[in-house]
Every structure is written in C-alpha cells, then in structure tokens.
Structure 1
Amino acid sequence: MIEQIISPVTHDLGQFEVRRALPSPGRTMVGPFIFVDQFGPAQLDVGTGMDVRPHPHINLATVTWLFEGAIDHRDSLGSFSTIRPGQVNLMTAGSGIVHSERSPADERNAGPKLYGMQTWLALPDGREEIDPAFEAVTNLPVVEDQCARAIVIMGELWGKRAATTTYADTIYAEIVLAPSGSLPIDANADERALMLVGGEASVDGEPLDLYELTVLTPGQAMTLASGRGARVMLLGGEAFSTRRYAWWNFVSSSRDRIEQAKEDWTEGRFPKVPGDEEEWIPIPERPNTVSAP
C-alpha cells in the first residue's frame, strides 16, 4: 500500500519555510518529478515579499502551483506572468533558460501570502535539450462532488485531461476534501505519491503525516479520505529508466552537461531576463539541491 515515506528537509527563509521532499537520499524521483518543494502557509510583513533573483535551469520543466498569494514570473524568453491560485505555470528549460520569481507590488503593499508548490520535471531521453518554452494554463478540469474537489493540473486523472503540456506521462492534481470526503486514487501511473499540505487525511486507512511525501505501491487502486477536511497533492507518472542528476538548479542525465551549465552561468553565457537584468544568483559552493552520488 505504502512503498516509502519521505520526510522533507525544512529550510527557514525568515518569514516562511520551504520543505524539500525531493531529491532525497533515499529517492531521486517519483515519475518525472525530480524536485518537490512545498512552501507556506505564510503571511509576510507589509512592504516585504519573496524575491528569487534571476537564476538558470537546464534539461527540466518547472511547475508552479499556488494555494494562496501571487508571484510575478519573468524569464529570458521575455515571458511575464502573475501566478495566482487556479493557474499552473509550466516553464520548460530545455537547453537553457533564466527566470526570476518575485512578489507583485500589490501583494507587498498588503503583506504577501505565500502557500503553494514548486516542482521540477526531468525531461525524458532525447528531449532534454529541446527549445525553452513557457505556458500559463487556467482552464484546468475539475472533478467534484459534495465532499471532494480535485483540480487536474497535468495529465489525465478521473477521466479528465489537463491542457498543460507533458513531455513524459505525468499526473499532478490538487485534491480538497471536505469533512467525511473521499476520492479514489487510480492505479494507472508507474509511480505515484501523495503529500498532505493541510488538514487531516488517510489513504486506505493509513494516516498521512503533514508535508511528508508518501510514495504509493504501484498497481494498487486506493482511496484517499478525510474525517475533518484536507488538502492533498497527488503527483507521479512514468518511471524513468535512465538516471537523472541534480545539482543546484540543473538537472541532466549527463554530469558533464551540468558542469558545462555551471561554467556557462559563471561566465555569463546564459541570456538575461528582460525587466530583471540587474541582479542574479551566483553559483553556490554547496547548493541545497544535490542528488545522491
């Protein structure tokens, strides 16, 4: 029923916490997901905000999903998007992209709220170096009854498919259960995991611990249920047969490609972010994100 439970590493960023479940020493990926961060809920001080300066990515796609708050996204393609709840931002790095994420001015004036998910998808073999791209999708399918509501963010679940681009078979959904609510978890994906991000829930009677990534046994249909109400993320998809490495903001099947990206960023070979060109994040000596050797 439950294959593995991963306790996230918590990073305290002052006014809010980020909990990183993947990559972890015991597991690098669940389906194409190679990086899973959960942040908030948090209420920041008036006049402050989140400021993630421009930084690079290669060979992956980032997926940003918010429960509360807003984030301004800018990237080196010239894309600009204000992410809000109900909208998924998919940024495909491919051969290389640079982006920044900052709290909008109106959020700063009111005291920003931050509560959501940041995940990365490894790109499959033969597609790691595709052209960079960006999309923001709002017309996402909803599955609901009186006690359960699920938004299909990526892939196909409960007979409905999201319009969001997928490069490998991917499932991703936000599930909100009212008290006494339940929802079936299909067995179709190679790999699946649940993360309880609010409230109380169980899968086939086994309680989920808050913010832990619970990897489900493949091939078994299960039921997610809550007695008092819950918010749960479901993620997973196609199992990769080729290993992926992660170092800082870079993911690749090739260690040499990551070394090249590190050199390219240090030497200023990545493109700039229009409208956010003055700042950047330098290469760290010891990054927080590193896959196991």
Structure 2
Amino acid sequence: MSIFNADDPKLGDAFSCDAIEHLIIPSSREIGNFAVRRALPTARRRMVGPFIFFDRMGPSIIESGSGLDVAPHPHIGLSTVTYLFDGQIRHRDSLGSEMVIRPGDVNLMTAGRGIVHSERSPEEDRTHPLELSGLQTWVALPEAHEEDAPSFSHTGDKELPRYSGDGIDLNLVIGRFGGLKSPVPMLSETIYADLHLSAGASFPFDPQWEERALYILEGAVEIAGDVFGPEQLLIFRPEDAISLKAGPQGVRVMIFGGDSMGSKRHTWWNFVSSSKERIEQAKEEWKTGRFDIVPGDEEDFVPLPE
C-alpha cells in the first residue's frame, strides 16, 4: 500500500530506558476516511531484521457506498504481509490469484522479479459503513532470492500457531517463536507475532534475534520502568534482555524482527532491491507496460510517480 504518500515517521521524546535504541512516532495520513500510519522506514532506521516497511491501516470507518481501492501497482524484491484486525480486503494479482483476506488471516505475496496486485473492498461490503483495521508490512528478500519467480500464499486464521497462559495470548503470524513455527512460507528467519497481555502480565522478549521491535496497538506497556502508549514503535538494542509488562488495562502489541540482512536495500516507491540499477529497470518496465496485468482488474492502474 505504498501508494499512500505518508510523511516520514518522527523520533519520539527522550526516554530513560537504555534498552530502547529508537522510539518512533509514526506519521499519519488521511486518505478519504481511511487513516494510515507509517512506522518504517525512517531517516535514521530503514529496517528491523528483514522488515523494511510497516504500515498501520486504520482503524477507520469507510462510509457506505465507498471502500478501499488500491489500483493495480507493481512490486519487486520483497514480500508483502497483510494481516487484518477488522474488515475485509480482496487481493488480486498478476499470477491470477484472487483471495478475500479476513481478520486473523495472513496474505503473503512474494514479488521476486516482479508482480502486480490490487487491493479493494469487496463489492458486497460497500452497501454499509465498513470498519477496516490491520497491518501491512514488507519483508525484504535475501539477495539470492530477489529475482525468484513471484508467488502468493494465503494462510487462514485457524492455521496459525498459538500460545496461551499466564496472562499471555500470542498468535504467531510468521517465523518461529518459543517452539512454535508459522506455516506461512518465508525465505529468512524472522519473528512476527500478535501479542495480548492481560493487566499486569509480563512477557520476556529475549535477544534471540539480532534486531527486535514492537508496535503498540492498544493499551500501555512498561519496559524497565518507562511506560509507552498506543501507536508507537519501539526498536530495541541488540543483545539486551527485554521484559514487557502490561499496564492496568492490558496491552496488545505486534513484536517483530530477525537477523540483519547483511547488505543494504534500496527502496523507491514499491520497489526494493540490493541494486539501484535493478530499481531503475523496474521503473522503466512499469512505465512502458512490461509488467503483467491483473486478471479481473485490467482497466485501472497506479501510474509511476513523477
């Protein structure tokens, strides 16, 4: 959903917790009645593990007769991970995939050498006010897989592994955690989990991964005596043991990360690559119509930005 021209996120106020490397206040942009907060990338921190893009979609109410309409647009060198809390989005892509993603499901679209997709509210949802809330992240591909054939995978809510106990409820979206492994196919080791903590419950976020972060969705979390509220991204220093403690109303966060990619990634619009030349090639291919079309959504497209 990078067609939303969100402003760069900003660093937050100073804080005393030494374990936190960056506190990021996501930029927010209203697109019609739809709010998008962009937490990554920032000028000072481009990636967390393989995660190169983090958008908080909503929560918003889209008025009756309208809907989300992201016209066909291209990607290279990344996987998009779409995870909803409320509402529905119909995904179509140039492979011929068509899928309505619902709350708790995971859509993984791996662009590789190139794919085109659209994201729209289903027609049947446009007859009434539509609540829409969720996340879309981009995961950069390892260099060896940047030019792989594109692919699409859908994983239903009931297929995701879960842990529940001691005030902790965790849904593992992608990657591995605490003996759990998500069935969503990934090309790099990572963690991406939806974590609920009941009031006063604690959760250890150990340095199993070189780079770790969390995004606060609801409630407040205490870390080493500091308290942080909703719609903030916390990026932790490597190797420090972290303990999260829920505030009096509980807390819901997304935890994510992985090892460093080991090489720089360049980003322009919807394109990610270790090569600037490859991005220039992709720009020319989209401009001259050499990407594939999206069956069922052939009439519309997002033009290359000027």
Q: TM-score, normalised by structure 2?
A: 0.90
Q: Deviations over 1:81-110 (max 9, x none)?
A: 111111111000000000000011232223
**Structure 1 residue 210: deviation in Å?**
2.1
Consecutive aligned runs of 4 or more in structure 1 exceeding 4 Å deviation: none
Other-structure match for 2:9: none
Other-structure match for 1:224: 244
Other-structure match for 2:81: 63
Other-structure match for 1:161: 181
Aligned mate of 1:53, from 52, 67, 71: 71
Other-structure match for 1:284: 305
Aligned mate of 1:180, from 197, 200, 224: 200
Which 10-residue stretch deviates more, 13-22 or 216-225?
216-225
Alignment partners' CA distance in 2, 1:18 and 1:198: 16
Q: TM-score, normalised by structure 1?
A: 0.94
Are positions 1:201 and 2:221 aligned together?
A: yes
Other-structure match for 1:240: 261
Q: What one-letter code is carried by the residue in structure 2 that aligns with 1:56?
A: P
Alignment partners' CA distance in 2, 1:157 and 1:110: 39
1:1-293 map, 5 Å: 1-138=19-156, 139-145=159-165, 147-227=167-247, 228-285=249-306
Alignment partners' CA distance in 2, 1:205 and 1:86: 32
Report if aligned partners of 1:92, 1:134 keep a CA contact under 8 Å in 2: yes
Report if aligned partners of 2:23, 2:234 keep a CA contact under 8 Å in 1: yes
Report if aligned partners of 2:218, 2:229 keep a CA contact under 8 Å in 1: no
**Structure 1 residue 168: deviation in Å?**
1.2
Q: Deviations over 1:111-169 (max 9, x none)?
A: 21111111001101211001100001120001112522110011111221101111111
SS in 2 for 1:265: helix
Q: What one-letter code is carried by the residue in structure 1 that aligns with 2:273?
A: S
Alignment partners' CA distance in 2, 1:239 and 1:23: 15
Q: What one-letter code is carried by the residue in structure 2 that aligns with 1:166?
A: M
% identity of equivalent residues: 48
**Structure 1 residue 182: deviation in Å?**
2.6
Alignment partners' CA distance in 2, 1:84 and 1:256: 37
SS in 2 for 1:276: coil
Q: What one-letter code is carried by the residue in structure 2 that aligns with 1:152?
A: L
Alignment partners' CA distance in 2, 1:43 and 1:249: 26
Two-structure CA RMSD over aligned residues (Å): 1.2
Q: Deviations over 1:16-64 (max 9, x none)?
A: 2111111110111000000010011111111111000000000100000
Q: What one-letter code is carried by the residue in structure 2 that aligns with 1:70?
A: Q
Aligned residue-pair number: 285
SS in 2 for 1:219: coil
SS in 2 for 1:175: strand
Report if aligned partners of 1:177, 1:230 keep a CA contact under 8 Å in 2: yes
* Unaligned ranges ≥5, structure 2: 1-18
SS in 2 for 1:263: helix
Q: What one-letter code is carried by the residue in structure 2 that aligns with 1:137?
A: T
Q: What one-letter code is carried by the residue in structure 1 that aligns with 2:282?
A: A
Other-structure match for 1:289: none
Q: Deviations over 1:227-281 (max 9, x none)?
A: 2122101111020111001100000011111111111001000000000000000
Alignment partners' CA distance in 1, 2:125 and 2:197: 28
Alignment partners' CA distance in 2, 1:186 and 1:254: 33
SS in 2 for 1:259: helix
Q: What one-letter code is carried by the residue in structure 1 that aligns with 2:203?
A: L
SS in 1 for 2:127: helix
Alignment partners' CA distance in 1, 2:277 and 2:178: 41
Alignment partners' CA distance in 2, 1:203 and 1:161: 27
**Structure 1 residue 70: deviation in Å?**
0.8
